[in-house]
């Protein structure tokens, strides 16, 4: 399979929007035609409400939906029963923060641990859950390279103040740094005896993930950042936790038996999937995973790293540009955040837009991290498999124009 | 494309961005407010000194923002001094866009109006 600009023909948006230099895949990715076709095919040929009807069409919809679950499970080395479909990463993390409520309250003398590297979606739900439970928050510090390893956990809290839960991102959506999740989980399990919730929204689209190797208790990611549709996401939950945690939402499809005063819950992931699920979305995600599989995840990661390193090198040679995150790009995904001196991120991204370059300018839903970096906003370029050197060239041209405009005084 | 590029970052906008007028803290404050734009993290703090006659005697704004939001707030600050609080309350989006002299486009409209919004909020509480 090819990679880079030769792939663009398979992504209709690059034909619709000729000259688009899309460097905002960390926000959401573009979609290949095969994903949209899979969704459209489902509505045309197999649509019914799954897990309810006995007629054959409903059976077919159920089979399609469960096949998608199996595809997602294989993608991260999990069992089908460990995959809960949700709307997106944010919903997965909110679900957990509410389902863990009783547990957090019971252990309220232990802090809820998180990091200042989190996207708001893995920060605010835990901040609020700790408040509801009457527990304190504790923050895991970064190392000098703005990366988190097991060693940083030791600096947080010695026992007996071990946290009741640790929520941590696999990869920073601003810095691009990859945290050592396997080592972190081992430490949290052995030293704190606490479960670990991993936000894999930025990691799952760009590197192979094996939940057995990571040994994380929970892992969440979104379809829309990995070539799939919006509106569907994944919460991986170790089997033991599926039994221990109560559902967050209740209603249709997630019960075993409903009495007048009490109810019991369905076995399996259905327990956490109240209401008619997004079947077309699940099939779109499965098609996205197949697309990624055909290209090869390692190859995608190498391609992105090559492009990100090229941009980092170009920016490193500019005196008026500050790059956030490790300058050597070691242990990083293809995300590069920077600022041009004297030019606000909003202005720079506006000027880049005139060159067809779509980058994010702002706080990236990571205000605690922005405060640590001492900036209000940065410009972020993020790479995916359809990007190529022409995107970087256009970005650098736009940067020159911003310099020209803002030095006119 | 080449034309509207000149249009947004006009000389006077860049001038106000680089040297914002009334970018200061007041000693005597009769009204103040802080407003941030959650989508980009920009934040303005506006302080007002208001005379017995209900006219704005002085204004100081601080915070950080992009060229559009800084220039709009700076230009607006020059316009409010001497006006009655009631008049300032009535200033609208069109007033600010006319001051700027550009069409910032839908994605930057909020930037252009952040200063006015902060001034209005300060007077609301008054």
- The answer to whether the beta carbons of residues A396 and A314 sit under 8 Å apart is yes
- The answer to whether the beta carbons of residues B28 and B49 sit under 8 Å apart is yes
Q: What's the CATH number where B52 sits?
A: 3.90.1010.10
- What are the tens digits of pLDDT across the range A336-374? 999 999 999 989 999 999 999 999 998 899 999 999 999
Size of interface A-B (CB pairs under 8 A): 55
In degrees and rounded to multiples of 5, residue A292 shows phi and psi of -60, -40
CA atoms within 13 A on the CB side of A181: 27
* B6 has a pLDDT exceeding 60: no
Report the DSSP beta bridge partners of residue B29.
none
Paired tokens of A202: 């930025």
Tell me the chain A residues in contact with residue B15 when contact means C-beta distances shorter than 8 Å: 409
Long-range contacts of A337-341, Cβ-Cβ distance < 8 Å, separation of 24 or more: A337/A174, A337/A175, A337/A176, A337/A364, A337/A378, A337/A379, A337/A380, A338/A378, A338/A379, A338/A380, A338/A381, A339/A375, A339/A377, A339/A378, A339/A379, A340/A379, A340/A399, A340/A402, A340/A403, A340/A406
- Name the helix (H) or strand (E) containing A404: helix A389-406
A 358-397 residues inside an 8 A Cβ radius of B: 361-363, 367, 370, 376-377
Class of domain A4-23+296-406: alpha beta
Structural domain boundaries in chain A: 4-23+296-406, 37-292
- Report d(CA A27, CA A43) in Å as an integer: 27
Interface with A, mutate which of B15, B37, B41 (most A CBs under 10 A): B41
Interface with A, mutate which of B67, B72, B73 (most A CBs under 10 A): B67
Whether B49 has its CB under 8 Å from any CB of chain A: the answer is: no
Paired tokens of A363: 């706080």
Facing residue for A408 by CB, picked from B1, B14, B66: B14
A 254-313 residues inside an 8 A Cβ radius of B: none
Distance (Å) of CA A240 to CA A57, A78, A81, A151: 33, 13, 11, 27
Contact check, Cβ <8 Å, B67/A351:
no
Whether A345 has its CB under 8 Å from any CB of chain B: the answer is: yes
In degrees and rounded to multiples of 5, residue A167 shows phi and psi of -110, 125
Whether A350 has its CB under 8 Å from any CB of chain B: the answer is: yes
In degrees and rounded to multiples of 5, residue A250 shows phi and psi of -125, 165
Topology alike, domains A4-23+296-406 and A37-292: no
B 52-91 residues inside an 8 A Cβ radius of A: 64-69
Q: Quickly state the pLDDT bin for A327 (edges 50, 70, 90).
A: confident
- What are the tens digits of pLDDT across the range B40-80? 778 899 999 999 999 999 999 999 899 999 999 999 999 99
- Report d(CA A47, CA A62) in Å as an integer: 10
**Domain A37-292 falls in which CATH fold?**
3.40.640
Amino acid A86: pLDDT: 98
What average pLDDT does chain A have? 95
* Residue range A265-269: mean pLDDT, rounded: 94
* A260 has a pLDDT exceeding 90: yes
- What are the tens digits of pLDDT across the range B7-21? 688 889 999 999 999
Amino acid A156: pLDDT: 78
Q: How far is A365 from chain B (nearest CA, A)?
A: 8
* B2 has a pLDDT exceeding 50: no
Whether B5 has its CB under 8 Å from any CB of chain A: the answer is: yes
Q: What's the pTM value of the predicted model, to 2 decimals?
A: 0.93
Contact check, Cβ <8 Å, A363/B41:
yes
Whether A175 has its CB under 8 Å from any CB of chain B: the answer is: no
Pick the closest to residue A254 from A71, A51, A57 (CA basis): A51
Q: How far is A165 from chain B (nearest CA, A)?
A: 29
Burial class from Cβ neighbours inside 10 Å (0-12, 13-18, 19+) for residue A400 reads exposed
Rg, C-alpha atoms of chain A:
22
Q: Quickly state the pLDDT bin for B37 (edges 50, 70, 90).
A: confident
Q: Quickly state the pLDDT bin for A73 (edges 50, 70, 90).
A: very high
Amino acid A158: pLDDT: 53
Q: How many domains is chain B partitioned into structurally?
A: 1
Whether A144 has its CB under 8 Å from any CB of chain B: the answer is: no
* Active-site residue list of A: 365
Contact check, Cβ <8 Å, A361/B11:
no
Amino acid A157: pLDDT: 58
């Amino acid at each position: 399979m090819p990679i880079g600009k030769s792939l663009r023909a398979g992504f209709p948006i690059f034909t619709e929007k000729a000259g688009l230099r899309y460097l905002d895949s960390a926000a959401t990715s573009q979609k290949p035609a095969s994903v949209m076709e899979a969704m459209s095919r489902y509505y045309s040929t197999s649509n019914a409400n799954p897990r309810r009807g006995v007629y054959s069409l409903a059976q077919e919809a159920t089979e399609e939906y469960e096949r998608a679950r199996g595809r997602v499970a294989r993608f991260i080395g999990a069992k089908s029963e460990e995959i809960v479909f949700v709307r997106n990463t944010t919903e997965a993390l909110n679900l957990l923060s509410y389902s863990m409520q009783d547990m957090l309250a019971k252990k309220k003398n232990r802090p809820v641990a998180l990091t200042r590297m989190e996207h708001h979606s893995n920060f605010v739900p835990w901040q609020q859950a700790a408040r509801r439970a009457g527990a304190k928050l504790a923050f895991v510090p970064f190392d000098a390279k703005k990366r988190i390893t097991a060693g940083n956990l030791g600096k947080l809290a010695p026992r007996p103040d071990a946290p009741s839960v640790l929520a941590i991102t696999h990869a920073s959506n601003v810095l691009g740094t990859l945290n050592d999740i396997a080592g972190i989980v081992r430490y949290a399990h052995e030293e704190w005896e606490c479960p670990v919730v991993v936000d894999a929204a930025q990691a799952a689209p760009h590197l192979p993930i094996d939940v057995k190797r990571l040994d994380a208790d929970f892992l969440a990611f979104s379809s829309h950042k990995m070539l799939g549709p919006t509106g569907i996401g994944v919460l991986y939950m170790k089997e033991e936790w599926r039994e221990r945690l109560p559902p967050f939402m209740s209603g249709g499809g997630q019960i075993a038996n409903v009495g007048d005063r009490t109810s019991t819950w369905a076995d399996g992931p259905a327990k956490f999937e109240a209401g008619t699920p997004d079947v077309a979305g699940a099939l779109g995600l499965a098609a996205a995973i197949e697309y990624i599989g055909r290209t090869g995840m390692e190859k995608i990661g190498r391609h992105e790293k090559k492009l990100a390193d090229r941009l980092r090198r170009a920016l490193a040679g500019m005196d008026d540009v500050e790059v956030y995150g490790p300058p050597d790009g070691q242990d990083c995904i293809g995300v590069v955040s920077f600022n041009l001196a004297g030019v606000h991120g909003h202005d720079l991204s506006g000027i880049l837009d005139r060159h067809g370059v779509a980058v994010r300018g702002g706080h990236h839903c990571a205000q605690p991290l922005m405060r640590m970096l001492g900036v209000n906003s940065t410009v972020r370029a993020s790479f995916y498999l359809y990007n190529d050197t022409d995107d970087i060239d256009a970005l650098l041209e736009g940067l020159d124009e911003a310099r020209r405009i803002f030095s006119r005084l | 494309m080449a034309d509207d590029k000149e249009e947004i970052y006009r000389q006077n906008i860049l001038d106000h961005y680089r040297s914002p007028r009334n970018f200061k803290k007041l000693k005597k404050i009769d009204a103040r407010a802080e407003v941030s734009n959650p989508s980009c993290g920009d934040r303005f703090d506006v302080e007002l000194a208001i005379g017995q006659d209900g006219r704005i005697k002085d204004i100081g704004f601080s915070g950080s923002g992009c060229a559009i939001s800084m220039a709009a707030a700076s230009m607006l600050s020059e316009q409010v001094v001497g006006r009655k609080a009631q008049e300032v309350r009535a200033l609208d989006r069109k007033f600010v866009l006319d001051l700027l002299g550009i069409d910032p486009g839908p994605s930057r409209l909020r930037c252009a109006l952040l200063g006015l919004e902060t001034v209005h909020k300060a007077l609301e509480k008054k």
